[in-house]
Amino acid sequence: MAQPAQLNQWLQNFWMRKATFMGLCAELAPTLRHKDMRLRAALSVEKRVAIAVWKMATLDNYRSVANQFGVGKSTVGIVLMQVCRAINRILLRRTVTLGNVQDIVDGFAQMGFPNCGGAIDGTHIPILAPPHLASEYINRKGYFSVVLQALVDNRGHFIDIYTGWPGKVHDACIFQNSGLDVEMPIVILGDPAYPLMPWLMKPYTGKLDRSKDWFNYRLSQCRMTVECAFGRLKARWRCLYGKLDLGESSISAVISACCTLHNICEGKGETFSEEWTSEVRRLEAEFAQINMLHGDGG
């Protein structure tokens, strides 16, 4: 009975199997190992990665994680950023990337939309009130956030991410600054917040006839891939709901690392529990309730 329980514990704590975890450590070792001398006590690569993954996968604060691993509170923050930056340096570009375009187009075609290469949307990542220009970070729902813009494929894998803009900034503005605002041979799908372009399709608005209504339905079905991807991302990496207590550049690094780990877990078929999704819904409901109580909702 001990072995299944231990395996279950591993998945609950690190959101991935041990083999995937050890593979991640092997990939990051060249970057992380040479930093051992910078800390008072040398930590193994495995322990560094475990600390960072635990912090990203849970809502535990720095002190709680420090107690869990027998290290200092400040060490957790240092290790988190070392590991996230290593993930972004070594794995981001080859993990968050366009795969086989024909497979993606075929996948979206089966879902009802031809010649489609991706679905785009933005999501808000809660943060603590920043020390400068705090009002710029208050989003329309009334809390402080930065925006993650993502383009996903038909399987819900991230193929392009762009993050760090203050929560107050409109999706269309972020899009125009993201580098995706270039002509493409295939179309991508967005919601009404995005500008209509020959290669960026969005829903019809206003009075709809049957053909426009059908177009909107098929577009919506395909756009659900990006909404589901955000849901799974936040369900796995709950630090994205923990009001990240970091500087601006560090927040973007953690978000990017979480997106990279999302693709790795999805690509390796790691277990995903619907209970995690329920937890995210509970957290979202808490945010909505707090905003209503404070009269901040927009």
Chain segment 120-129, per-residue pLDDT in tens: 999 999 999 9
Could you tell me if 59 and 192 lie in one domain?
no
Q: Do residue 31 and residue 115 come from a single domain?
A: no
User: Using 50, 70 and 90 to split pLDDT, how confident is the model at 34?
Assistant: low
Percent of the chain scoring above 90 in pLDDT = 71
If asked whether residues 55 and 168 sit together in one domain, one would say no
**123 shares a domain with 83:** no
108 in the same domain as 88: no
Domain C-terminal end among 73, 95, 117: 95
Of the chain, the percentage scoring pLDDT greater than 70 comes to 90
Same domain, 148 and 74: no
How confident is the model at residue 244, as a pLDDT? 86
Q: Which of 66, 95, 124 is the last residue of a domain?
A: 95
d(CA 293, CA 296): 8
Over residues 22-39, the mean pLDDT reads 80
- Would you state the structure tokens that stand for residue 125, as one six-digit string? 């990542």
In this structure, are 174 and 88 located in the same domain? Answer: no
Q: What is the pLDDT of residues 50-70, one digit of tens each?
A: 999 999 998 899 999 999 999
- C-alpha 287/C-alpha 142 separation (Å) is 9
Given a contact cutoff of 8 angstroms between Cβ atoms, the answer to whether 105 and 92 are in contact is no
Choosing from 74, 95, 116, the residue where a domain stops is 95
Shared-domain flag, residues 132 and 37: no
Task: Kindly tell me if the per-residue pLDDT of 265 is higher than 60.
Answer: yes
- Mean pLDDT score, 83-96: 97
Do 252 and 146 meet the contact criterion of CB atoms below 8 Å apart? Answer: yes
Domain with 229, as residue range(s), is 101-294
Based on the fold, state whether residues 60 and 82 are members of the same structural domain. Answer: yes
Is pLDDT above 80 for 157? Answer: yes
Domain count, the chain: 2
Regarding whether 242 and 136 lie in a shared domain, the answer is yes
pLDDT of res. 2: 37
Asked if residue 57 and residue 17 are part of one domain, the reply reads: yes
Express the helix, strand and coil content of the chain in percent, nearest 5 each. 55, 15, 30
Q: Is the pLDDT of residue 142 over 70?
A: yes
**pLDDT per position as a tens digit, 174-231:** 999 998 877 778 999 999 999 999 999 999 998 899 999 999 999 999 999 999 999 9
Is pLDDT of 237 > 60?
A: yes
Listed residue (37, 292, 295, 254) closest to 126, CA to CA: 254
User: Residue range 28-42: average pLDDT?
Assistant: 70
Q: What is the pLDDT of residue 5?
A: 54
Mark whether 198 and 265 lie in a shared domain: yes
CB atoms within 10 A of CB 36: 13
pLDDT score recorded for residue 6 = 53
Mean pLDDT of the chain: 89
Task: Indicate if the pLDDT at residue 1 is higher than 90.
Answer: no
Please report which helix (H) or strand (E) contains residue 50, including its range: helix 45-57
| pLDDT score, position 137 | 95
